[in-house]
Chains A and B, each alone.
Chain A
Amino acid sequence: MAPVLVLAEHDRDSGAVKKNTLELLTIARRLGEPVCVWFGSGADQASSTLGEYGASAVYAADSAEMTDHPVVPMVDVMTALVEQLSPAAVLVPSSADGKEVAGRLAVRTASGVITDAVDIDEHGVATQSVFGGSTIVHSKVTTGTPIFTVRPNSVPPEAAPTTCAVESVQVAVSDLAKKAQVTDRTVAGKGGRPELTEAAIVVSGGRGVGGPEGFAIIERLADSLGGAVGASRAATDAGWYPHQYQVGQTGKTVSPQLYIANGISGAIQHRAGMQTSKVVVVVNKDAEAPIFELADFGVVGDLHEVVPRLADEIEGRST
């Protein structure tokens, strides 16, 4: 079986393999034999998890140069691996880094690229959910090594244990990669919650939250469910919540198991970022708000009443 090259991502702090990587491995097994590429340290510890989900090898590139320069060193290594392994396909996460790696790798290896796939079948036909989830598209790469970026929460990860060998790769980083230098990494934002695009549960607040202090009850509800916090553009534009948490057409696209929209009217711009969520719950005092069209369960009521009581209920029920 031909190898399928998977870019394995891990949490920068804990070194833990990201859930999206396990999803990619699950999809990769339909196309061939998954092998991973790993950037930075920690491949040895991760190899057991990668093997559990079917990776037979992990190619570890852990020189400091890999992380001293953005994006391009990863492309240098993956170009070499594509030449060496002739994989049936390359799968990378739909993160900012992942998409840029995919784009540059496509140019370098003269290959077609499909971004934001939500599924890929055994024939390499990708499913995409476009225009804010209103249209489902099936497409295929027709030239070169098919390169796909895959959205988080696309498929449930399924284990398929095998033995994963760790191989160190030494690829000289190109002069092109060295043109840009990372000089500092700053941690900002609200720590301690799952990453927004990867979270199984997202609790969002919009204009109805009323102000920055109103987000305290949104955060409390998110924490009671172990979820991430999102915000509509109205809320981030008003400065009530940091911009990086904006869900919508010009923000993050999320596809969690459960999305709770609080005080969000549901303009196209917001729906584009959350329409593919599996279960949608709405709390809004305006019964006419278009977001109710997407609701599996909706409560017409004041979120300042409903949300704190819901958090109480959840904390009560889960103890």
Chain B
Amino acid sequence: MKIAVCVKQVPDTWAEKTLQSADSTLDRASADGVLNELDEYAVEEALQIAEAHGGEVTVVSMGPERAAETVRKALSMGADSGVHVLDEALHGSDAIATSAVLAAALAGKDFDLIIFGSESTDARMSVVPAMVAERLGLAQLTFAQRVSVTGSDVTIERVTDYGFDTITASLPAVVSVVEKINEPRYPSFKGIMAAKKKPVETLAVADLGLEAAAVGQAAAWSAVEDFAARPPKAAGTVVTDEGDGATRLATYLTEQKFI
């Protein structure tokens, strides 16, 4: 079984995230880059499926030079090989272009399963897995809290507002996973050492058969007009409970017409 996991390097959750005034893109250099948390679950799920059914796991990432660290992180968890799409022309790409690049990197490789985290913690759009499924013409099984592979079928539990829907498709398919689907493993020392020797293919946009002019900020189908920091919130009233905290709070809620 051939499994691809698409991962993204994002600014550390605890870091202050800002846009750059020059071109309104995320300032990726000023914060530590980490493997997108939800993608850790995707990597773990891929490894578990490969361990249960046999097969190999390829990590695919698009991003600046530093994103190579993120590919290595996934390799140190146990993935077998990596593909890093690296090209100056990609800077400022929108989700449309990102999905085109990933689809081109994934096409023709006979992957049985392509697994994503359900969203990135920086852009938080949650659209790229669906867009890649659309472009590759594959079944879309997204927002999975459980994934099981039986023979040539894959079944997931898709999280909904009501609970979950059980959805089945024949392989190949695109899957995205939600937080807590599993417990991502920590890379072992042995895994970290082994990852250094694992093959990572670095591809430019032209290697994927795409035009450089079709990606990047100039080719984006939406554009930022302006941005600003949210004005700081005015300090509120804080009282210490001396037996009357609940009453004072209830009075406040009444004044605000919530009661």
Instruction: Point out residues on A near B: beta carbons under 8 Å.
Output: 12-13, 70-72, 75, 95-96, 99-100, 102-104, 106-108, 110-116, 125, 129-144, 176, 179-189, 195, 201, 225, 236, 243-244, 246, 249-251, 253, 257-258, 268-269, 275, 279-283, 287, 292-302, 305-307, 309-310, 312-314, 317-318
Contact = CB atoms under 8 A, between A and B. Distances in A.
Contacts of A100: 126-127, 130, 140, 142
The dominant DSSP class at the A interface is mixed
22 contacts: A70-B167, A99-B125, A103-B125, A110-B221, A112-B96, A134-B17, A135-B18, A139-B224, A182-B166, A183-B155, A185-B163, A185-B166, A186-B164, A188-B164, A250-B37, A258-B253, A294-B233, A299-B241, A300-B238, A307-B246, A309-B247, A317-B259
The dominant DSSP class at the B interface is mixed
B167 A313 contact: no
A297 B236 contact: yes
Nearest to A108: B134
Contacts of B141: 70, 180
A142 B223 CA distance: 7
B22 interface: no
B127 A113 contact: yes
Interface of B: 13-14, 16-19, 24, 37-38, 94-96, 99, 121-122, 124-128, 130-131, 133-135, 137-143, 155, 157-170, 173, 179-180, 220-230, 233, 236-241, 245-250, 252-254, 256, 258-259
Nearest to A179: B139
B161 A115 contact: no
A293 B247 CA distance: 22
Contacts of A142: 220-223
Contacts of A244: 159
A300 B59 CA distance: 48
A225 B236 CA distance: 22
A176 B136 CA distance: 10
A180 B95 contact: no
B229 A135 contact: yes
Contacts of A134: 16-17, 229-230
